[in-house]
Amino acid sequence: MSLRVGLVCPYAWDVPGGVKSHVADLAVTLREHGHHVNVLAPVEEDEALPEWVTDGGRPVAVPYNGSVARLSFGVKATRRVRAWVREGNFDIVHIHEPLAPSLSVLTCWAARGPLVATWHSSQDRSRVLTAGYYVAQTAMEKLRGSIAVSEEARRTLVGHVGGDAVLIPNGVRVQDFAPDTHDRQRRRRELLFLGRIEEPRKGLSVLVDALPAILEQIPDLKVIVAGPGDSDDVRKDIPAHVQRALTFVGTVSDERKQELLQEVQVYVAPHTGGESFGIVLVEAMAAGACVVASDIPAFRTVLEDGRAGRLFSAKDPASLAEAVLSVLDDDASRRALVAQGHKRADQYDWDSVVDDVLAVYESVRVDGEKVTEDLRGQALGRFAARTNFIRGRRGGDG
């Protein structure tokens, strides 16, 4: 049976990010399985949007979840959400990060019927969720089903707002990343870092501090750094011989990210915490790169405690250097990790994961029922007014 599915992404569609990639891949996979899908997301520039994405308003940069997220909220965003719900005629609306102060929480308020949520974030403490406990509870009451992408994300849900969720991991479109061969024996020795270069929890500084020891053993090593941020600001404190090994390529497209992961021998994930899953690790394994990652809980789970990639002590440059050198100096060990990593990536293929998502949809549906606009919007109006005030202090409304 073909379903009309509405997906809500709280973060800017034209800014790279794990949640956005998850929503996009889920949308494409559902469409390939014959379902009608429309995504509502904040958009900076709407000229190149796919026809299945609806512009949810211009985003504003806001500190959120240990990072700076680009979110859309306020009165105009509320109107767009309500119009999208009215016009969508959806059988299911699937809201990602339902309490994110963006289109997600607005949709929880503005819609009623078969609503499903996916929880992505891992947070030990959240001032947003603590301060907005009442908002969280009333939004939670609207949801008929919840999904967590990891045990860490599930613990965040249970600890902050109660309830529980079905555990369904992030998916990867493995065929999009798979190279012609998984043998990196003849490739030039290169490392790849992907992430916002100025965001401390992504750990670029840990990698940079490890490079002198690595370059002492492998002086011709090349390190590619891909991701948004001011590379000049990062470079200014790096020794000259380390700078020569680094190539900053800025923000890359999804296609270029796939190419980089297929080209390099090693993908390094030096994240210091705050990750609930680690989708890019699965992408790297699917592409045939050897993964070297910090031993934070989410990464340990994805890498099967080191069977599918090399782990090192988080925040420890010496441990990172030792791990990188161990896989670059031992071709057989590296190839074994690549082979195991490819098998592990297959377990996260969207063609398998989507069946579990559809099972959740079916569990909350009633034949003939549609998602409709919730006209009991007094609390929504007060919330929108408050967020509009916050927006007014930062400027603009999309």
Per-residue pLDDT reduced to its tens digit, 131-163: 455 566 677 788 999 999 988 888 877 776 777
* Same domain (yes/no): 262, 324: yes
Residue 261 lies in a domain: yes
Number of separate domains in the chain? 2
Question: DSSP for 151-183?
Answer: HHHHHHHHHHH----EE----B-HHHH--S---
User: Do 233 and 92 belong together in one domain?
Assistant: no
- Same domain? 167 vs 33: yes
pLDDT for res 47: 72
Domain membership of residue 387 (yes or no) is: yes
Q: Poorest-confidence range of 64-68, 89-93, 118-122, 379-383?
A: 379-383
Tell me which range, 156-170, 241-255, 368-382, is most confidently predicted by mean pLDDT.
Answer: 241-255
Predicted structure pTM score: 0.80
Strand pairing of 290-294 and 266-269? parallel
Q: 398 lies in a domain?
A: no
What is the maximal distance between C-alpha atoms in the chain? 67
Exposure string for 230-258, b = 16+ CB within 10 A, e = fewer = ebeebeeebeeebeebbebeeebeeeebb
Give yes or no for a contact between 6 and 90, defined as CB atoms under 8 angstroms apart: yes
Same domain, 203 and 300: yes
| pLDDT reported for residue 394 | 39
Q: Which residues contact 122 (CB under 8 A, 6 or more apart)?
A: 150, 152, 153, 155, 156, 274, 275, 276, 298
H helices, E strands: number in the chain: 17, 17
pLDDT band per the 50, 70, 90 thresholds, residue 284: very high
pLDDT at 396: 37
Q: Are residues 59 and 141 in the same domain?
A: yes
Together in a domain, 198 and 138: no
- 183 has pLDDT over 70: no
Identify the H or E element spanning 193. strand 190-194
Which range has the top average pLDDT, 53-62, 131-140, 339-348?
Answer: 339-348
Which domain, by its residues, includes 17? 4-171+350-391
**Listed ranges 73-82, 292-301, 386-395; the one with the highest mean pLDDT:** 292-301
- Give percent of the chain with pLDDT exceeding 70: 85
Q: In this structure, is residue 67 part of a structural domain?
A: yes
Residues 31 and 47 in one domain: yes
**Is 397 within a domain?**
no
What are the pLDDT digits (tens) for 187-239? 558 999 999 898 898 999 999 999 999 999 999 999 999 998 888 888 888 88
Residue 396 in domain:
no
What is the DSSP-derived secondary structure letter of residue 57? Answer: -
Residue 205 vs residue 254, higher pLDDT = 205
Same domain, 165 and 178: no
pLDDT tens by residue, 14-53:
887 889 989 999 999 999 999 999 999 999 877 778 999 9
Residue 153 is assigned to a structural domain of this protein: yes
365 and 337 within one domain = no
Q: Residue 385: is its pLDDT beyond 80?
A: no
Tokens 């890359």 found at? 252
More confident call, 111 vs 70: 111
Question: What confidence score (pLDDT) does residue 34 get?
Answer: 97
Distance (Å, whole) CA 138 – CA 166: 20
For residues 286-311, give the mean pLDDT.
95
In a domain, 62, yes or no: yes
Joined together, the tokens standing for residue 148 give 């967590």
Closest CA to 229 of 279, 256, 254, 195: 195
CATH of the domain at 51: 3.40.50.2000
DSSP codes, 303-336: TGGGTSSEEE-TT-HHHHHHHHHHHHS-HHHHHH
Q: Nearest 5°: CA angle at 95, between 135 and 283?
A: 130
* 8 A C-beta contact, residue 188 and residue 245: no
Q: Please check whether residues 271 and 371 belong to one and the same domain.
A: no
Q: Which residue from 12, 216, 198 is spatially nearest to 100, judged by alpha carbons?
A: 12
**152 shares a domain with 10:** yes
Query: Residue 298: which H helix or E strand, with range?
Result: helix 297-302
What pLDDT does residue 135 have? 60
Beta bridge partners of 268: 292
Are 25 and 106 contained in the same domain? yes
* Predicted confidence (pLDDT) at residue 185 exceeds the cutoff of 70: no
> How many whole angstroms separate alpha carbon 320 and alpha carbon 326?
10
Q: What is the mean pLDDT of the chain?
A: 86
**Span between the terminal Cα atoms of the chain, in Å:** 36
